[in-house]
Structure 1
Amino acid sequence: MKKVYVIGHRNPDTDSICSAIAYANLKNQVEGNGYEAYRAGNINGETRYVLDTFGIKDPKYVSDVRPRLKDVNLNLVKGAKATDSLKSAREMMQTEKIVSLPVLDGKKMIGLVSISDVLKADMDVYDNEILAKAKTPYKNVVETLDGTLQAGDIEGYITEGKLTVSAASVDTMEEFVTAKDTVIVANREDAQIGAIQTGVQCVVVCMGTEVTDKVLELAKEKNCRIITTPYDTFTASRLICQAMPVSYIMATDTIVSFNETDFVDDVKEEMTKKRFRYFPVLNADNEFVGFISRRRILEFNKKQVILVDHNEVSQAVEGLEECEIMEIIDHHRIGSVETVSPVYFRNQPVGCTGTIVAQMYREQGIEITKEMAGLMCSAILSDTLMFRSPTCTPVDEQIARELAQIAGIDVEEHAKAMFRAGSDLSGKTPNEIFYMDYKKFNADTIDFGVGQITSMDQGELDDIKASILEYMDSVKEEQGLDYVFFMLTNILEETTHLLICGPEAEGVIERGFGVTPEDKVAILPGVMSRKKQMIPNLLNAFQQ
């Protein structure tokens, strides 16, 4: 089954991560394996406490879901070794129905040979010393000629001499044959003996001729190799150049290769500039993993994604527009996500996506384990601020308390421990604090971002005001936003100190909340929810 990514929003909170894990688990039990939870950002302190408490591994991190070459069905090819013959390389290409072949040293690619390279090397040979120049292995000669080594060592290489076909008389052989040559002869014993006595390093005996003991003894004495072949002298002379190793003709400097982590769209663009049919794909260790072709790019199926706890492109993982969205499970306003075809979209007015996922377990008749119950209960407690948030519904609280019983936890004690872990800001930079829970939004022509951090200690929140206010200016410029807001929410006092950044931001807050900010800070009693209180009021203010 093809892998399906189950993923929450960027800068994930506890609900985003826990609901993704729980929903992937549900889908795997209902439909079989293939669903895997991912996260689109770092795990905050609160979520870390939850995962550690229930012994759950961190979801894998993914910053960009645009398809990469490792997601494409590559053409898997065994490859050739540098010493393999041109004949074996040609046969491998014919079997695989490809026109290029990687040359490998272990798994690392050291060159590339094409069918045109092989044909050219076979047809355009006018150099009778080509076998020596190519350092041709003797075993290649035996294999290429379908031969048998009758005398000598099959290991070693042809490094000296020329290739000669002895068609002259024995008396005139010395005029054409010299020491260290490789000689092709027919079935005449006197020609075989004459070549050996001349000092050649190898004699190829054709037409399946049985070599006499006299010739074999002389060959051993002179350290000369004897190879017999069923082919006649003409055929043998045509075939023997195919014994050259592919290392002699392989390309090394003009290879256009890609890495398996390269994005498919980038590869497409690069491929249009080249005339090659196949392109090698390598991994991070420069090891060959397969070939990519234009046809395989066209046949590629997009990644399949299930969105959890969000449905806006601005909040989604990078590259979502190049994926196939299968489902959306969310409890926020319906945003800007567009799909090519109809999808399963479950959106309910509850305080937490974890509440929806828990309902789906029951609807499917799937038993909720202690671990999954702990995750979903934690998600609800986090999103509803332990039932204090105005987004909390009776359904959220009822399900959370039922899940707590399954998980064997005390709701109040567990929630306090979570919040303490999440509000521990000691040692954290303004960047780390700001992105612990941050989302971007759009209202017609206005782009804005809203971050939030919760704590039970007002002094801790006051300590970070100045540094966060200063950091918000850089966020606004880097992301090209019109406004940036940051909520410092005190859970116990049920109050938010809202930090503001942007032109006429004070007017926006006055219109939206009826409160006049001082020194870029607005105190908002009773405001605890970004989703239900902050965002609707800001949207109304922008429209006035």
Structure 2
Amino acid sequence: MDPIYVTGHRNPDTDSIVAAMAYAALRNAVGDREYEAACLGHVSDETQIVLDLFGFQPPKRIRDMHTQVQDLDFDTPPVLSAGVTVGRAWGVLQEQKNISSVPVANEDGTLYGMLSRENVASYNMEQTMAGELDAVPLFNILSVLEGKILNEAGENTDVVAGEVTIALPQSRENLLFNTPNSIVLCGHQPDMIRRALEMNVNCLVLCQAELPEELRDFPTTTCIISTPFDAYRAARLIFQSAPVSRICRTTGLVCFHLEDRVDEVREQVLKHRESCYPILDENDHVAGVLTRYHLLRPRRKRVVLVDHNEAAQSVPGLEEAEILAIIDHHRLADIQTTNPIYVRNEPVGSTNTIIASMFQDRGLMPSEKMAGMMAAAILSDTVMFKSPTCTDRDRRTAERMARIANVSLEELGKQIFSASLEHRTAQDLIFADYKEFHIAGHNLAVAQVTCMDSPRMLERKEEFLKLMEKNVAEKKLSIMILMLTDVLLEGSQLIYLGDDDTIQQAFGVAPKGNTVFLPHVMSRKKQVIPMLSALWG
């Protein structure tokens, strides 16, 4: 069954990553085994410290939720080898009721061509008119004729070719085979058999007959085989011994890959209008066959959103996915669904506080390691309980998770926030926890870095401003703010690009040199965005 992805927001923080992992663990623990945690960006140093501390690997990274070819119920017919006989391939085609072509592959599994019923029909008509068989492996002929080799010359023969002739009575000299480059089919006709052996024809096929005893040691280079079929049927079947590599279509093929987006595939299908299209995997191995029918009702990816409910912060292509649930602690935003879904949005400081309650509601207790990660995530999102978003419930939940994990919250907090930021690039710092908002016609972005030495971080102000200036121009933002939230100072240094009056009116302080210190401001969600919303609203 296709997985249900549980994902936090873009530029994920620790709360977002751990919430996805914890919710997936909860659902899988109650029997819903298809839930899989995922993330939408690089795992920060802080989050990696938490993951390493409790022995977890980062979740799978996904880049979008667009419906892809792999989400379609495409057909998976047998994939033919290029050396398979036309006769066997026709049997496979007859078994496929929904498609008119099957893929032909090289030995390494990559695509060689496509074989259709039309290819087989055209080949049969051409051979009916020509009557000559190009060189084919002897094994192929033995296969289609259910034949066996009768002489030593046959044992030494690898390839057979020639004009296919049914031996007629000797009185009809004008219709007899008259060249060694012949494949002669005859019944119990000793004279015809002798003539063929004397001429050293390429191959002699005995149809429902045995080789006369007096001719068994006849010196000849002719390959002699026997078949249980009559001459008329054998003459038709022998042409089915050709490998499909000779008749399948190998040029001008339109192929799709499992990762291709369905909307782009649909455009190509309308343009080319083929009956079947081969599907390839990431190694270019054949994975199946696509028809126009498969595009009518594609399966949408399924997703649960945690720690966000805003489209701009979510996975690209979300509009094509089926949202099953939202677990969040932020303001309600703009995500819409086609069907009613489960939503749990509570005014707490961390999404993991909510998920811990969901464990309790189900009568389950998270594992020691998972509880430790959840405690760390709550500490991170509430800035060690100093954020104004922090509630008594966050504190009680973190303490309970710490008891389960047998860890100290104080020591855990020190490990989380002592992660060195000096070696990280400005790009990493700004976009590790970066969110965009649209408020009353204004586009803005707020990035947040939690640290324990904001004055030292301010020394890199010009480096930050240069990168922010580029981002403002590219995204056409009204304002961009970088919050350097200092755990020890219990406040945030704001580095911003935008209108000075906006900053002064929103926060009631006079900025200087694109910076301002806001004491006791620790939360983007509760202390920065609401101020700007009130100003512009």
Q: What's the TM-score, normalizing by structure 1?
A: 0.94
| Partner Cα distance (2:329, 2:452) in 1 | 25
Going from structure 1 to structure 2, the CA distance change for 1:380 and 1:47 (only over 3 Å counts) comes to: same
Matches within 5 A, 1:85-96: 85-96=85-96
1:299-328 CA-to-partner distances (Å, cap 9, x unmatched) read: 431111000100000000111111000000
Q: Find the counterpart in structure 1 of residue 271 from structure 2.
A: 273
Q: Distance in 2 between matches of 1:273 and 1:156?
A: 45
Identity %: 37
Instruction: Measure how far apart 1:124 and its partner are.
Output: 2.4
| Counterpart for residue 496 of structure 1 | 492
1:426 aligns with 2:427: no
Q: How has the CA–CA distance of structure 1 residues 200 and 99 changed in structure 2, closer, same or farther, with 3 Å as cutoff?
A: same
Are 1:128 and 1:164, in contact at CA under 8 Å, matched by a contact in 2? no
**Secondary structure class of the residue paired with 1:15:** helix
Query: In structure 2, what is the Cα distance between the partners aligned to 1:127 and 1:307?
Result: 66
Query: Counterparts of 2:477 and 2:188 in 1: how far apart (Å)?
Result: 88
Cα distance between partner residues in 1 of 2:436 and 2:343: 21
Is residue 375 from structure 1 mapped to residue 369 from structure 2 by the alignment?
no
Amino acid at match of 1:304: R
C-alpha distance after superposition, 1:323-370 (max 9, x if no partner): 000000000000111111000000000000000000000010012211
The reply on whether 1:172 has 2:173 as its aligned counterpart is yes
2:31 equivalent to 1:35: no
Conserved? CA contact 2:437–2:445, under 8 Å: yes
Are residues 1:99 and 2:106 paired? no
Q: 1:131 to 1:538 in 2, by over 3 A?
A: same
Q: CA deviation at 1:226?
A: 2.0
Contact 1:173 1:195 in 2 (8 A): no
| Other-structure match for 1:124 | 126
Deviates more, 1:162-171 or 1:527-536: 162-171
Alignment correspondent of 1:237: 235
8 A contact 1:19–1:375 mirrored in 2 = no
Say which is worse superposed, 455-464 or 23-32, in terms of deviation: 455-464
2:201 aligns with 200
Q: How many angstroms does 1:445 deviate by?
A: 2.0
Residue type at the aligned position of 1:52? D
Match of 2:439 in 1: 443
1:312 aligns with 2:310: yes
Unaligned runs of 5+ residues in structure 2 are none
Secondary structure of the 2:361 match is helix
Question: What amino acid is aligned across from residue 74 of structure 1 in structure 2?
Answer: F
Give the alignment of 1:59-138 within 5 angstroms. 59-97=59-97, 98-106=99-107, 107-125=109-127, 128=130, 130-132=132-134, 135-138=135-138
Cα offset, 1:171, TM superposition:
8.1
Question: Superposed, which structure 2 residues align to 1:260-299 within 5 Å?
Answer: 260-299=258-297
- Cα separation, 2, equivalents of 1:32 and 1:16: 21
Task: Give the counterpart letter for 2:506 in structure 1.
Answer: G
Given that 1:487 and 1:498 are in contact with CA atoms closer than 8 Å, whether structure 2 keeps it comes out as yes
Distance 2:376 2:271 in 1: 53
1:438–1:451 CA contact under 8 A, matched in 2: yes
Distance 1:71 1:478, change over 3 A: same
Structure-1 residue corresponding to 2:453 = 457
Q: Does 1:529 align with 2:530?
A: no
User: What does residue 54 of structure 2 align with?
Assistant: 54
Q: Compute the RMSD of aligned alpha carbons.
A: 1.9
CA distance in 2 between partners of 1:427 and 1:214 (Å): 94
2:339 to 316, 338, 341: 341
Gaps of 5+ in 1: none
Whole-angstrom distance in 1 between the partners of 2:343 and 2:408: 33
For residues 433-482 of structure 1, the C-alpha deviation after alignment (integer angstroms, 9 at most, x for no partner) is 11110011111322111100011112332122221111111111222322
AA aligned opposite 1:117? N
For residues 157 and 337 of structure 2, what CA distance do their matches in structure 1 show? 63
Cross-structure match for 1:253:
251
| Matched letter for residue 142 of structure 2 | V
Q: Which amino acid aligns with 2:4?
A: V
**TM alignment of 1:465-544, pairs within 5 A:** 465-502=461-498, 505-543=499-537
The amino acid across from 1:204 in the alignment is V
Paired with 2:264 and 2:132, the residues of 1 have a C-alpha distance of 42
Q: 1:14 corresponds to which residue?
A: 14
Distance 1:277 1:360 in 2: 50
Show CA shifts across 1:46-85 (max 9, x none).
Answer: 1010000000111011111212222333322222122211
Tell me, what secondary structure is at the counterpart of 2:216? Answer: helix
- The corresponding residue for 1:394 is 392
Q: Name the residue aligned to 2:145.
A: 145
- After superposition, give the CA deviation of every residue in 1:201-236 in whole Å (9 maximum; x if it has no partner): 111222x12332233332xx3132223333333332
Distance 2:170 2:330 in 1: 96
